[in-house]
A and B are shown apart, each in its own frame.
Chain A
C-alpha cells in the first residue's frame, strides 16, 4: 500500500492495486460505480463554507503535501459512519436552508399586514450626501444673470437699428432717393457728377438734343429746425432750353365765308395729375421731357414742310407752320413754349373742348412720331418695316414691297387727316342743311361707325314720307376720301365729286327731283296705271342749270285719262292731265272723224295746280289724283 493518492476531481478509471501477492497476482481495489462515485463527490460539498473558502482552496492544496493526514481524517470521519446514507449531509443542509426560507417568508407575510410589525428606515446622516442649499442658490443666480445679459444685449441692438431706420426715413437719405430716381430714369456716373438722360434716343429718336440732366445733392437743410414735408435731399438740374412747359397748338381756320371753321386745339398741354407719392424731381423731369417731345415734333414737321412739294407751298415762320389743305382753309401748327411761372396765363378758355377728342389727337400724334423713330434693331436685319423680312421668302413683287414701305412724312399724314376730317364735316353739314331745308322728298343719312383715318362712308336715302316701301330707288353710298367724294348709285353708276360743297348739293338736288318721277312710276304700278313713257333726262322744255329734268306719262287702267309729270331740280314739278275728247269743253268737229267711238280717245291736256292740291307731299298728291281719275266700277 504505498500508492500515492493524488487529490483530483476526476473519476478514477484505472483500478488501484490493493495488494500484490507473493506469486505476483495483483488484487485490485474495486472501482467505484457511478453512483458510488457521485456519493463520494457529494460528501465533499461543504454547505457551510462561503466563497472565502475558494481562497483557502489553493492554500489547502499547497499545504497538501504537508496536510495529508487531514483529508484522510475527513475521509476517515466520513468513513467512520459508513452506515449513513451518503446524501444525508446534503439533505440536512437543504432542510436547514428550507427552514431559513420559511422563517423569512413568515416574517414578510406578517410585515405585509402591517398590524404587528412595521418597517422603518433608519435615519441617515444628511451631511454625508447633499451639498448645502446656499451654494445652489448662488450658482443658479449666476447662470440666470449671464443669460439675461445676453438677451438684453440683443434687444438693445434691435432697438438701436429700428431707431436708425426711422431716423433715415424721416430724413430721406440721399441714396435711397437716388435709388428711386434710378428706377424710373436712366442715370450714369461721369467722374464726380451723376448725369441722366431724358431724351427719346433710347426709343430710336434722331433728334439732336442731348437731353442730359444733372442730379445734385440738396444740402441746404438745417437739421436743427423741423424738416418740411416736401423736403427732398435730391434735386435735378435740367438744361436751360427745356425749362418751363410747352405745348402744340393746332388750329384750322377759314378764310372765306362758305367754309366752316374747325377751331383750335392744344395738344400735350395738360400736365398729368401728380401722384401723391411723386417727388418734385419727377414732375420737373416729366415737364422737361414734354418740352423735348413738342420740340421734336415741331422740328420734324417744319423740316418736312420745307422739303415736300405741294400745290400750295407751306410757310414756316419762327414757331409756326401754315399750310392750306384746301383753298380757303388754313391749317396752322405752332409750338408754344412758356418759361417761368406765370400762372395767370394758364387760365385759358379751353375747357369747352371735349376731353376724349384731345386724347385721341394726342395719341395719334404720338403714334405718328413713333413711326418716325427708328427702333434699334440687330445688325443682321435691315432698316424698314418688320414685314419686309418676309419679302424674300414669300417672293413679294414690287407692288407689295412698295405698299409696305412708307414714303410719306409726318406733315403729309397730318395734312391728309385734316383734309379728310374737314371734308367729312362739310359733307355732313351739307346733307343736314338740305334735309332741314327741303321737306318733300326726305333725306336720310346713315353714317358708318367704322371709319379709317383717311376714309369714311355714309349712306344717303331719299324717300317720301309714307311711301318708303314703294319709292326706294334712290339710294346713294358716299365714300368720303381725302380730297374727293365717290358716290355709288343703286343702279350702279359711280360718280366722283370734288371737295366743293356746291357739287354735292347740286347732285343731291338733282337726285331728289329724279326721285319724284321714280316715285310716280312705282305708284303707277301699285295703282294699276300703265307707264306709257319714262325718261330720266328729257331733252324738251326749259334747260335746267343743275342736272336734268325727268318726265313720266302714265295712263289710267281704262285708258281714258293720262297723267304727265315733268320734274326738274330748278323748274319744279309740272303735272298735266289728259282727258278723253268727249269731256273737253270745246269739241273740235271735223268731217274726217265722224264716228262717236273716237270721242273716247284722249285728247286735250289740262294743267294741275300742285300747290293748291291737298296732300302732305307730292306722291300723296299724285295718289289722290290717280284715285280721282279712276272712276269706281
Chain B
C-alpha cells in the first residue's frame, strides 16, 4: 500500500490505443521494469431511486481493484466512500429497489503490471462496453504512504517514461482537510480512477477504436 497517482495518457497521433500501450510497455522494459502479471479496475454505476422529482439522483459508484481482490469500494462523486467485503455486490442486488444499476455505464481498465524496485506501474486500457476509450497509467510508490514526502520522486520517475504527459499533484491529496502530510487510503486511488473514468465517459468515442 503506497502513494498512487493515476493519470491519463493521450493516444499518440496517428496511432491506435493498442499501439500507444505497446510503446509505453517498451519504454518501461527499457528502464528495467519487470512484468508482474495483469491488473484490472472496474466501476459500476447505480442510480438512487425514489428521491424527490426535480433533483438529479445521486450516482453511486461501486468499484473493484485487483490489488485488493477481496474488497469492494463504494463512493459518491466527491463525497464519502466506503470500503467493504466482496459480498457488498450481493447487497447491492438486494437493494435493487433503492439503487438501479445503469448497465450501460460500466467502465473498466485492464492491462499489465510492471514492477521497478519500489515502484509499481500499471498501464491499462480504459474500455466502456468493450470499446477502448483511453489509456490509464497508475504509478504506485510502495515505500511511502505520505504524498507530501514522495511526490517529487514520483514526478521525476513518471517524467522518465511519460515525458510530457506527466500529471500534476492529484487534487485528491490537496483537497484533504489535513493537507498533504496525511497517510493515503485505498479510497484516494479509487477516487482518482473515478475521476479518470468520468473524463473518459464524457469524451467522444475515439475514431477507429472498435471492439478490441
Give chain A's interface residues, CB within 8 Å of chain B: 388-389, 391-398, 401
Contact = CB atoms under 8 A, between A and B. Distances in A.
A398 B69 contact: yes
A392 B83 contact: yes
Interface in B195-209: none
A424 B85 CA distance: 43
A395 B186 contact: yes
Contacts of A398: 67, 69
A398 B66 CA distance: 9
Instruction: From B68, B70, B71, B87, name the one whose CB has the most chain A CB atoms within 10 angstroms.
Output: B70
A58 to B, nearest CB: 105
B117 interface: no
Nearest to B73: A395
A393 B68 contact: no
A388 B69 CA distance: 12
A396 B83 CA distance: 11
A542 B73 CA distance: 69
B1 interface: yes
Given A389-B85, A392-B70, 4 more contacts: A392-B83, A395-B73, A395-B186, A401-B70
A128 B172 CA distance: 121
Nearest to B87: A392
Nearest to A389: B85
A395 to B, nearest CB: 4
A392 B84 contact: yes
B186 A392 contact: no
Contacts of A394: 71, 83
Given A398-B67, A398-B69, A401-B70, A393 B83 contact: yes
B93 interface: no
Nearest to B67: A397
Contacts of A395: 1, 68, 71, 73, 83, 186
Given A398-B67, A398-B69, A401-B70, A393 B85 contact: yes
A107 B133 CA distance: 144
B115 to A, nearest CB: 12
A392 B72 contact: yes
Given A397-B67, A398-B67, A392 B85 contact: yes
Contact of B1 (A388, A389, A397): A397
Interface string B68-91: 111111000000000111111000
B68 A397 contact: yes
A381 to B, nearest CB: 10
A396 B85 contact: no
User: Chain B: interface secondary structure?
Assistant: strand
Interface string B156-194: 000000000000000000000000000000100000000
A388 B86 CA distance: 12
Contacts of B70: 388, 391-392, 396, 401
Nearest to B65: A395
B69 A401 contact: yes
Contacts of A391: 68, 70-71, 85
Interface in B54-110: 67-73, 83-88
Contacts, number: 37
A134 to B, nearest CB: 97
29 contacts: A388-B70, A389-B85, A391-B70, A391-B71, A392-B70, A392-B71, A392-B72, A392-B83, A392-B84, A392-B85, A392-B86, A392-B87, A392-B88, A393-B83, A393-B84, A393-B85, A394-B71, A395-B1, A395-B68, A395-B83, A396-B68, A396-B70, A396-B71, A397-B1, A397-B67, A397-B68, A398-B67, A401-B69, A401-B70
User: What are the nearest 10 A-B pairs in CB distance?
Assistant: A392-B85, A395-B186, A391-B70, A395-B68, A392-B71, A395-B71, A392-B70, A397-B67, A395-B83, A393-B83
Contacts of B88: 392
B190 to A, nearest CB: 9
Nearest to A394: B83
Contacts of B86: 392
Nearest to B88: A392
Nearest to B85: A392
A395 B186 CA distance: 7
A393 B84 CA distance: 4
Contacts of B68: 391, 395-397
Nearest to B186: A395
B200 to A, nearest CB: 24
B127 to A, nearest CB: 23
A185 B72 CA distance: 45
Contacts of B186: 395
Contacts of A397: 1, 67-68
A547 to B, nearest CB: 34
A398 B84 CA distance: 16
B165 to A, nearest CB: 27
A401 B68 CA distance: 9
A388 B73 CA distance: 17
Contacts of B83: 392-395
A389 B85 CA distance: 8
Instruction: From A391, A392, A393, name the one whose CB has the most chain B CB atoms within 10 angstroms.
Output: A392
A598 B67 CA distance: 78
Nearest to B66: A398
A394 B86 CA distance: 12
A392 B70 CA distance: 5
Contacts of B67: 397-398
Contacts of B85: 389, 391-393
A231 B84 CA distance: 62
Instruction: From A389, A398, A401, name the one whose CB has the most chain B CB atoms within 10 angstroms.
Output: A398
B29 to A, nearest CB: 23
A402 to B, nearest CB: 11
A405 to B, nearest CB: 11
Contacts of A388: 70
A393 B71 CA distance: 6
Contacts of B69: 398, 401
Nearest to A390: B85
A391 B87 CA distance: 12
Contacts of A401: 69-70
B124 to A, nearest CB: 17
B109 to A, nearest CB: 17
A38 to B, nearest CB: 107
Instruction: From A396, A397, A398, name the one whose CB has the most chain B CB atoms within 10 angstroms.
Output: A397
A392 B1 CA distance: 14
B52 to A, nearest CB: 32
A396 to B, nearest CB: 6
A398 B68 CA distance: 6
Nearest to B37: A398
Nearest to A397: B67
Instruction: From B1, B68, B87, name the one whose CB has the most chain A CB atoms within 10 angstroms.
Output: B68
A443 B30 CA distance: 51
B35 to A, nearest CB: 16
A389 B87 CA distance: 11
Nearest to A388: B70
A378 to B, nearest CB: 13
B211 to A, nearest CB: 31
Nearest to B189: A395
Nearest to A391: B70
Instruction: From A394, A395, A396, A397, name the one whose CB has the most chain B CB atoms within 10 angstroms.
Output: A395
B25 to A, nearest CB: 22
B96 to A, nearest CB: 20
Nearest to A380: B87
A319 to B, nearest CB: 42
A562 to B, nearest CB: 50
A391 B86 CA distance: 9
